[in-house]
């Protein structure tokens, strides 16, 4: 399993990339600062590094220079700037590729695979069907997320079961109330919001980014991601 070092200080971007890479069978170490990344790079032989250029303690370009002093690890740069000078400089100091934000997580995974092929590092073959993060055991009446059992209440279990039975379908709050409560008239639709928030927290505790499996459709309701 190739090991990727991700240095990105924006949590939302980092969580998305970690999820995308892990789903495609990459091991990922995420760090927020260049200093922490250098400490890890001195102790671990990474197969590839993804560096945000706009880091809080030093630029990703400077980090790449320091990495080059201790490791030949391939480097993919991420940046919010689209200047030609930055791209050329990044490649001249030893970077292997350069991606401008915003980007698709799938594009990053594809570029990582391409870099690893070029540099003769082993890359896992893309799977026709990505491994499912969410698993339901109907006999035990419980859910697990990436192998970790979720400690759900009865209503949380029923809500997640409804969503999982038809991934991608949007359920209104009233529909979810009808399915998960014996007397839906006794509670308000905001009760659904509170339970969804709790389920997301438990998914996130089981695996970073897993809370995004439950999607909010503003003004409509909730759905389960089709790649869950």
**Can you give the residue ranges of every domain in the chain?**
3-118, 134-224
Pick the CATH number of 134-224 from 3.40.50.300, 3.30.1600.10, 1.10.10.10, 3.40.50.720: 1.10.10.10
pLDDT at 205: 87
pLDDT at 1: 76
Beta carbons of 50 and 78 less than 8 angstroms apart:
yes
Per DSSP, helices labelled H in 71-172 are: 84-92, 105-118, 154-165
Quick check: pTM over 0.85? no
Angle at 15 between CA 198 and CA 144, to 5 degrees: 45
Phi first, then psi, for residue 50 (nearest 5°) are -110, 115
Q: How does DSSP assign 41-77, residue by residue? A: HHH---SEEEEESS-SSS-HHHHHHHHHHH----EEE
pLDDT at 97: 85
pLDDT (tens, 9 = 90+) of the chain, 228 residues, equals 799 999 999 999 999 999 999 988 899 999 999 999 999 999 988 999 999 988 999 988 899 889 988 888 999 998 876 555 555 555 556 678 888 888 889 999 999 999 998 876 555 555 444 446 888 888 888 898 877 889 999 889 999 998 988 888 999 988 888 888 877 777 776 888 899 999 999 998 888 888 888 999 888 899 998 766
Residue in the block written with tokens 């560096």: 51
Q: Report the CATH number of the 3-118 domain.
A: 3.40.50.2300
pLDDT at 18: 94
If we measure between CA atoms, which residue out of 78, 83, 30, 33 comes closest to residue 53? 78
Rounding to the nearest 10 degrees, give the CA dihedral for residues 110, 116, 121, 122.
10
């Amino acid at each position: 399993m190739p090991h990727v070092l991700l240095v990105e200080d924006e949590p939302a971007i980092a969580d998305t990339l970690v999820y995308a890479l892990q789903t495609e069978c990459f091991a990922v170490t995420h760090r927020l600062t260049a200093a922490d990344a250098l400490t890890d790079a001195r102790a671990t032989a990474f197969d590839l590094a993804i560096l945000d250029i706009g880091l809080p303690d030093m630029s990703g370009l400077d980090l790449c220079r320091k990495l080059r002093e201790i490791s030949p690890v391939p480097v993919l740069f991420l940046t919010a700037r689209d200047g030609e000078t930055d791209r050329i400089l990044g490649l001249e100091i030893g970077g292997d590729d350069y991606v401008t934000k915003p980007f698709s997580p799938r594009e990053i995974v594809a570029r990582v695979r391409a870099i690893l092929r070029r540099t003769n590092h082993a890359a896992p073959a893309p799977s026709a069907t990505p491994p499912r993060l969410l698993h339901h055991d109907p006999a035990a009446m419980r859910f697990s997320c990436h192998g970790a059992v979720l400690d759900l209440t009865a209503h949380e279990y029923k809500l997640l079961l409804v969503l999982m039975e038809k991934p991608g379908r949007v359920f209104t709050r009233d529909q979810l109330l009808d399915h998960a409560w014996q007397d839906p008239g006794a509670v308000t639709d905001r009760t659904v919001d509170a339970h969804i928030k709790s389920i997301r927290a438990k998914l996130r505790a089981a695996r970073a980014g897993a809370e995004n499996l439950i999607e909010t459709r503003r003004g409509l309701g909730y759905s389960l991601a089709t790649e869950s």
